[in-house]
Amino acid sequence: MAVDVLLGLQWGDEGKGKIVDVLSPQYDMIARFQGGPNAGHTLEFDNQKYVLNTIPSGIFNEKTMNLIGNGVVIDPIILKRELDNLKKNGFDPVAAKKLVIARKAHLILPTHQLLDAASESKMGEGKIGSTLKGIGPTYMDKTGRNGLRVGDTQLPDFKAKYQKLVDKHKSILSHYGEVPDFSEKEASFFEAIEFLKTIPQVDSEHFVNQYLKEGKTVLAEGAQGAMLDVDFGSYPFVTSSNTTTAGACTGLGIAPQKIGSVVGIFKAYCTRVGGGPFPTELNNETGEELRRIGHEFGATTGRPRRCGWIDLPALKYAIMLNGVTELVMTKADVLSGFETIYACTHYKHDGQVIDYMPYDICTIKPEPVYEAIPGWKEDITGIKEVSEIPESLSSYVKYLEKALEVPVRYLSVGPDRAQTLILN
């Protein structure tokens, strides 16, 4: 058996949570492989909306096991809050034995968040616009070989290890200014650590490979999107993990040849939250309309998302990096009513027309070259059959399939799990 992978092809918030939830009945396990509570994955069903930050989006499927993989960074306070909220709504994945956590996953400490905030405020105008969840500093400690891991919570000297790392952080923080008081947060952290210890810990590499050996199906759930990948995204305006398919191998402990289908998700247009380049951004009424109709406000931070037209050079790049075998287009309903929609096919850069992301994307502003595509007027949020899809929307999908050279398998026409069409 192979591990299928589902990931975002743009700058995050493509609708990964919703689609993982839709696909989860087909899988024995859903496994998050990178990122942390910077993610906000929204799911809707039975008139209820849930936002998950750390927990895989298979949690609402009765039969599915959910693994938080070693590549994820975990804030125990946020994880506890997520599970408390689920419990209030009648879901208790720990009691149901449907949630396990990798021993090798790294912990986000309260001081990681302080470091994130200090670094961002120091950068002023040029800041990344991070989610301030401590993601960057935690991955820095991981690669710097200083980090604390989930498995360390079982060790008798966990507190001493914690203190050693906090002392290092305090010394760095003192260079930024006065170290803020974090005693309250620290108390919540240790309370949450006790809670964390009640979640079964596993070696994700053995756990996942055993599933495969037994012929079980696994879907790896990505967070963020390809353009936020630390190596290939719009660096330095990226997150601190590999959001691409390769990240699923290191973030779960699976060999590259064990990867099966790669499902790439994109919005029918494009959004980004935080700083950094966004060639097709619309700083005008159309951009505002997309934000208003698409409710484009961050699921984690509530920040307004920047909106623009679909960017084909960026999507082709993401498809190449990830080895995408099938596509999902979400939020097609948001474009209903636009007379004309536009797809960026190329950029103009340095007097030349190019069809790839230039290296210096952050310093130059490539000018998008657009193709105009007729829009559709119909409200599509209630359609249940492929035959009901307006012709202009079908043409848009076919146009994208031709340009991207990958079939669009699913079309999402609203936030609810039921608002999903299988195309082919």
| C-alpha torsion sign, points 228, 231, 237, 242 | positive
Q: In sequence order, what DSSP letters do the residues of 137-152 get, joined into one string?
A: HHHHHHHTT---BGGG
Closest C-alpha to 227, from 244, 208, 251: 244
Which among 38-46, 138-146, 184-192, 402-410 is the span making contact with ligand GDP, rule CB under 6 A? 38-46
Question: Which one of ligand IMO, Mg ion, ligand GDP, none is in contact with 358 (Cβ closer than 5 to 8 A by kind)?
Answer: none
Of residues 39, 74, 198, the one with CA closest to residue 147: 74
Among 4, 16, 166, 397, binds ligand GDP (CB under 6 A): 16
**Per-residue contact flags (x/-) with ligand GDP for residues 255 to 294, judged by CB under 6 A:** ----------------------------------------
Binding residues for ligand IMO, rule CB under 6 A, total 25
34: its two tokens: 């990178």
Identify what 135 binds: ligand IMO, Mg ion, ligand GDP, none; CB under 5 to 8 Å per kind.
Answer: ligand IMO
Toward Mg ion, which CB reaches closer, 111 or 240? Answer: 240
Cβ 307 vs Cβ 283: under 8 Å: no
From 106-114, 141-149, 224-232, 251-259, give the range in contact with ligand IMO by CB under 6 A.
224-232
Contact 58, 20 (CB under 8 A): yes
Residues 6+ apart with CB under 8 A from 174: none
Q: How many CB atoms lie within 10 A of CB 163?
A: 11
Determine if residue 394 is left, alpha or beta; phi over 0 gives left, psi from -120 to 50 gives alpha, anything else beta.
alpha
- The verdict on whether 13 is a catalytic residue reads yes
Spot the catalytic one: 13, 116, 333, 416: 13
Options 108-116, 184-192, 364-372, 412-420: segment touching ligand GDP (CB under 6 A): 412-420
Q: Which of 34, 54, 119, 130 binds ligand IMO (CB under 6 A)?
A: 130
Tokens 């995408």 belong to which residue?
324
| Contact between 9 and Mg ion per CB under 5 A | no
Q: Binding of ligand GDP at residue 76 (CB under 6 A)?
A: no
Query: Is 295 tagged catalytic?
Result: no
Quick one: which segment of 34-42, 93-101, 345-353, 387-395 binds ligand IMO (CB under 6 A)? Answer: 34-42
* Distance of alpha carbon 327 from alpha carbon 226, whole angstroms: 14
21, 28, 41, 141: the catalytic one is: 41
- Shortest distance, position 158 Cβ to ligand GDP, whole Å: 32
Nearest of 49, 70, 217, 236 to residue 149 by alpha carbon = 70
Q: What does each C-alpha distance from 289 to 35, 278, 283, 377 come to in angstroms? A: 30, 17, 11, 15
281 is a contact residue toward Mg ion (CB under 5 A): no
Q: How far apart are the first and last CA of the chain?
A: 23
- Rule CB under 6 A: which of 173-212 touch ligand IMO? none
Pick from 209, 322, 330, 336 the residue near ligand GDP by CB under 6 A: 330
15 touches ligand GDP by CB under 6 A: yes
The alpha-helical segments, DSSP class H, found in 181-241 are: 183-196, 204-213
Active site residues: 13, 41
Site residues for ligand GDP per CB under 6 A: 8, 12-18, 39-42, 44, 299, 330-331, 333-334, 412-415
